[in-house]
Amino acid sequence: MRVTLLGTGSADGWPNPWCACPSCAWARDTGNARAQTGVLLDDAMLVDLGPDVPRAAARFGVDLGRLRHLVIGHAHPDHLGPEALMWRSWSTVADRPLDVVGPRAVLDAVAAFLTRWERRAPGEAGSPLHPRLALAGSPIRLGGPGPDGGGYLVVPVAAAHGDASVGPAVLYDITAPDGARLLYACDTGPLPAATVEALAGREFDVALVEENNGDRPGFGDHLDLATFTADVGQGSARAEP
Ligand SMILES: [Zn+2]
Ligand SMILES: [Zn+2]
């Protein structure tokens, strides 16, 4: 699995371009701007599509034309900018199939946007976009054939993040065609017990876990340094033989 981090920033990116705090000033002065979090796998699967993410790809010289699967965790606006699908529809790959995976609120937001602006929702006749509903605990098989004859196996697990109007939010346990495994855990508060249970013993090759709040009192359903450490420790303990 080839992992390309297109962004590792928070909703407002880093730096927040309005902000004069030392952290944002450092990032600005050193040219360390980071987009909203989004990760590209094998150039074939993109996990999370904040409005910054396609532009980050353009700046890094990354071609999104081979994308086959778009996977979204929840419908907060820093994880889902459905307008990117309109920009795609003006490109040379407009007619190529693209799975759009996400919980109900994500699929509804994408359908509403594209119905408004393109008069054609994903899944309708002639649309290259194929909606796939992500439900915690229900595996989704995508694409292929990979080297072993299979594509990606995507298993949504419950996040502790927001209410049903943005999800219900999920995180993703992803197995690539080459067998490599990645955990995508952005955004979430301390993991629900059912999620810890579902992830036990999975031996991920890469775990991308949010740590939104740093050493400050945070807001929303996110991790800080203490809860991040506790969650990762819990996962490591469960992975012990
Ligand atoms: Zn700042
Ligand atoms: Zn969120």
State pLDDT tens for residues 117-160.
988 889 888 899 999 999 999 999 998 655 455 699 999 999 99
For residue 235, the model assigns a pLDDT of 72
Average pLDDT over residues 36-52: 97
For residue 144, the model assigns a pLDDT of 64
For residue 217, the model assigns a pLDDT of 75
Proximal ligand: closest to the CA of 22: 1
For residue 177, the model assigns a pLDDT of 93
224 Cα–ligand 1 center, Å: 17
For residue 148, the model assigns a pLDDT of 53
Average pLDDT over residues 74-99: 96
Proximal ligand: closest to the CA of 162: 2
18 Cα–ligand 1 center, Å: 8
In angstroms, the Cα distances linking 121 to 86, 93, 115, 126, 198 are 11, 17, 5, 10, 33
38 Cα–ligand 2 center, Å: 13
79 Cα–ligand 2 center, Å: 7
80 Cα–ligand 2 center, Å: 10
77 Cα–ligand 1 center, Å: 20
Q: How far apart are CA 188 and CA 221, in angstroms?
A: 6
165 Cα–ligand 2 center, Å: 11
214 Cα–ligand 1 center, Å: 12
Proximal ligand: closest to the CA of 23: 1
11 Cα–ligand 1 center, Å: 12
pLDDT digits over 222-240, tens only? 999 998 888 888 877 665 5
pLDDT digits over 154-184, tens only? 999 999 999 999 999 999 999 999 999 999 9
Proximal ligand: closest to the CA of 36: 2
pLDDT band for position 24 (50/70/90)? very high
What backbone phi and psi angles, to 5 degrees, belong to 115?
-65, -40
CB-neighbour burial class of residue 191 (10 A; exposed 0-12, middle 13-18, buried 19+): buried
What backbone phi and psi angles, to 5 degrees, belong to 160?
-105, 85
11 Cα–ligand 2 center, Å: 8
Average pLDDT over residues 94-111: 97
For residue 215, the model assigns a pLDDT of 84
Indicate whether 219 pLDDT > 90: no
Average pLDDT over residues 45-70: 96
With contact defined as beta carbons under 8 Å apart, do 167 and 75 qualify?
A: yes
188 Cα–ligand 2 center, Å: 8
For residue 239, the model assigns a pLDDT of 57
149 Cα–ligand 2 center, Å: 35
CATH 3.60.15.10 for the 3-239 domain, yes or no: yes
Q: How far apart are CA 145 and CA 206, in angstroms?
A: 23
What kind and span of H or E run contains 112? helix 104-118
pLDDT digits over 188-208, tens only? 999 999 999 999 999 999 999
Q: How far apart are CA 8 and CA 18, in angstroms?
A: 19
What backbone phi and psi angles, to 5 degrees, belong to 234?
-60, -45
Q: What is the mean pLDDT of the chain?
A: 92
For residue 232, the model assigns a pLDDT of 85
Higher pLDDT, 230 or 49: 49
At 174, list the tokens. Answer: 């992803």
For residue 191, the model assigns a pLDDT of 94
223 Cα–ligand 2 center, Å: 12
